[in-house]
Chains A and B, each alone.
Chain A
Amino acid sequence: MKTIYKIFIAGIVLLFSGAVIVSCSSTKDKYTAVTDVEEEFKIEKSGAQMWGEACNRCHLAPSPADYNDTDWETISLHMRIRANLTEKEITKIEAFLKSAN
């Protein structure tokens, strides 16, 4: 068990170090919208599509009308962390929910 534990701790340390290095070395602090060219070729998914995909992974996708914009901001921050969503996903989902409520 001790050997397994040491290997495991080494793995955790590697994972932690990798996550810190990669996330802190990112040049972008905030998600930026796609360019016109990307939009034209439909490279990026819409917020509505992400809402349907990400929310349904655990529960039924919520109705945008059930909360106001301020509530959606709080819920989005909460869900971003709880469901481990990417910043791009939650930014676009939040924008969709606010636009559709």
Chain B
Amino acid sequence: MKKLIILILIFGVGHTVYGQTYNNFDTDSTTTTEPFNPSKTQFMIRGYGHTGLNTMSNDDETESSYVGSAFAPIFLFKHSDKLLFEAELEFVLEGNELEVGLEYADVMYVLNKNMTVRAGKFLLPFGTFMERLHPAWINRLPTTPLGYGHDGIAPSSGIGVELRGAFDLGGPSLNYAVYSTNGPRLKDGSEEPEEAGMLMFQNFEDNNNSKAFGGRIGLLPFADSSTEIGFSTYSTSKVGNRDSEYENVGAFLYALDFSFVKQIPALGGFVDIKGQYNNSDIDDATFIEIHEEDGEEEEEEYTFGNNSNSFYAQLSYRPTMAESDFMKKLEFVGRYSNFNAPEGAEWEEQSEQYAFGLNYWLTWRSVIKIAYQTTDSVGGHDGGGITNGFYIHWAIGF
């Protein structure tokens, strides 16, 4: 038995030594003179993440917490030069829970040089903020402007089909997008009375067979592509549930956006101006308010002109032509935004917000953001008042 083990060991060690000594790697598929040939099918994981410290204070209290640790991987499957699948997951730690969301998942096919079709769940080109500018490593401030997010009036994504493309006009250029989605759903107040009349855009199944239609036209009038003016619309004839009294309530939304980005030698750096105005007009409807009187619940009907709007304008400046390397990586940001929800609604609100930030760009896709923000509200979920916030965030794209 011992002889057999010794023989096996001698054979094994000898084989390894021989292999290591005389292998010239000729049979390997990859050599220095013959590089591997990449396949046409490609898979990439890109995305972004961010984390930070938020300190918020109002008249009553101050809250400070490390937040974020958000992780948003983007999966790209390139099947050919014309066919691509994209999907973004979002993992966010919020309220002591891990929230997972599917931001978008769609397939795209380039039909010709001016037209691409997309289908699935995609970011809606309603203005530019939600489609292009909201990722943490792109957004110049740690927060979003008023009018976006959970209680916002601007739709961010939808499930449907879209055609988009761009035309070169010999200097100026024009881009367009037209789409149809399941559309929004009207909150009728049966579940959340304080939100009766709001639109809920996360409508994964159509509640009334009435599709929403929308589109955006963007014009870049100058040959240097520094300026873009966009007009977006989003409309549906029905937002209420089928066979409900709200079925025929319609909605019409529009947005105007503006962008100017240019390196101006006289100012020694990049100037970046962005702005967007959103308007939402929903047909008037009658909702029911339940309140207690003398220990008994009483129902009261009420209605209001369901028109909301929001606006933001942002100016940032990067002294990229400064002599100091440190200065070149700095960015100064200021943003104003406001939000007006309808008078008479349970969610009536008038808010104004100012935000100022100082960013330090470690690389083109990694930034440390320090910002101060003050919001003055009347009404809204928190009852209004002045809220001040101080933020330090680190965002990274990959």
In whole Å, how far is A60's beta carbon from the nearest beta carbon of chain B?
A: 4
- Complex interface: stretch among B18-26, B76-84, B185-193: B76-84
Asked if A95 lies at the interface with its beta carbon under 8 angstroms from chain B, I say: no
Contact of B218 among A1, A16, A77, A84 (CB under 8 A): A84
Interface range, B side: 35 or more
Asked if B144 lies at the interface with its beta carbon under 8 angstroms from chain A, I say: no
Instruction: Chain B residues near A50: list those with CB within 8 A.
Output: 225
Encode A1-34 as 1/0 by CB contact (under 8 A) with B. Answer: 1101100110110011001101110101111000
A1 and B238 alpha carbons, distance in the complex (Å): 10
Q: State whether A53 and B235 are in contact (beta carbons under 8 Å apart), knowing that A28-B113, A74-B42, A83-B132 are contacts in the complex.
A: no
Instruction: Chain B residues near A53: list those with CB within 8 A.
Output: 224-226
Instruction: Chain B residues near A12: list those with CB within 8 A.
Output: 178, 213-215, 233
* A4 to B, closest residue via Cβ: B252
Q: Are A15 and B217 touching (Cβ within 8 A)? A: yes
Encode B71-93 as 1/0 by CB contact (under 8 A) with A. Answer: 00000101001001010000000
Q: Are B235 and A8 touching (Cβ within 8 A)? A: yes
Q: Are A84 and B112 touching (Cβ within 8 A)? A: no
Asked if B177 lies at the interface with its beta carbon under 8 angstroms from chain A, I say: yes
Asked if A70 lies at the interface with its beta carbon under 8 angstroms from chain B, I say: yes
* B398 to A, closest residue via Cβ: A66
Asked if B69 lies at the interface with its beta carbon under 8 angstroms from chain A, I say: no
Asked if B175 lies at the interface with its beta carbon under 8 angstroms from chain A, I say: yes
In whole Å, how far is B374's beta carbon from the nearest beta carbon of chain A?
A: 27
Q: Are A23 and B113 touching (Cβ within 8 A)? A: yes
Q: Are A1 and B261 touching (Cβ within 8 A)? A: no
A80 and B111 alpha carbons, distance in the complex (Å): 13
Q: Are B178 and A29 touching (Cβ within 8 A)? A: no
Interface range, A side: 35 or more
Instruction: Chain A residues near B214: list those with CB within 8 A.
Output: 12
Asked if B304 lies at the interface with its beta carbon under 8 angstroms from chain A, I say: no
- Complex interface: stretch among B9-17, B60-68, B161-169, B381-389: B161-169
Q: Are A2 and B225 touching (Cβ within 8 A)? A: no
Of B114, B133, B233, B283, which is in contact with the most chain A CB atoms at under 10 Å from its CB?
B114
Q: Are B252 and A1 touching (Cβ within 8 A)? A: yes
Contact of A56 among B38, B78, B270 (CB under 8 A): B270
Contact of B237 among A2, A62, A69 (CB under 8 A): A2
Q: Are B233 and A24 touching (Cβ within 8 A)? A: no
Q: State whether A8 and B233 are in contact (beta carbons under 8 Å apart), knowing that A70-B42, A81-B84, A86-B173 are contacts in the complex.
A: yes
Q: Are A81 and B108 touching (Cβ within 8 A)? A: yes
* B166 to A, closest residue via Cβ: A86
A52 and B272 alpha carbons, distance in the complex (Å): 13
In whole Å, how far is A97's beta carbon from the nearest beta carbon of chain B?
A: 13
Instruction: Chain B residues near A78: list those with CB within 8 A.
Output: 76, 78, 84, 86
Contact of B113 among A4, A26, A58 (CB under 8 A): A26
Question: Which B residues contact A (CB, under 8 angstroms)?
Answer: 38, 42, 44, 46, 76, 78, 81, 84, 86, 108, 110-116, 118, 125, 131-133, 137-138, 163-168, 173, 175-178, 213-215, 217-218, 223-226, 228, 233, 235-237, 250-252, 259, 261, 263, 270, 272, 281, 283, 361, 363-365, 397
Top 4 nearest A-B pairs (CB, nearest first) are: A23-B114, A84-B175, A60-B364, A1-B250
A8-B233, A8-B235 known; 10 new pairs, CB 8 Å cut-off, are A9-B235, A15-B215, A20-B163, A23-B111, A29-B112, A50-B225, A56-B272, A60-B365, A71-B42, A80-B110
**A-B pairs with beta carbons under 8 Å apart, 25 shown:** A1-B250, A1-B283, A5-B235, A8-B213, A8-B235, A16-B178, A20-B115, A20-B163, A23-B111, A23-B113, A23-B167, A56-B270, A57-B261, A58-B138, A62-B365, A71-B44, A73-B42, A74-B84, A75-B76, A77-B81, A81-B110, A83-B132, A85-B166, A87-B113, A89-B166
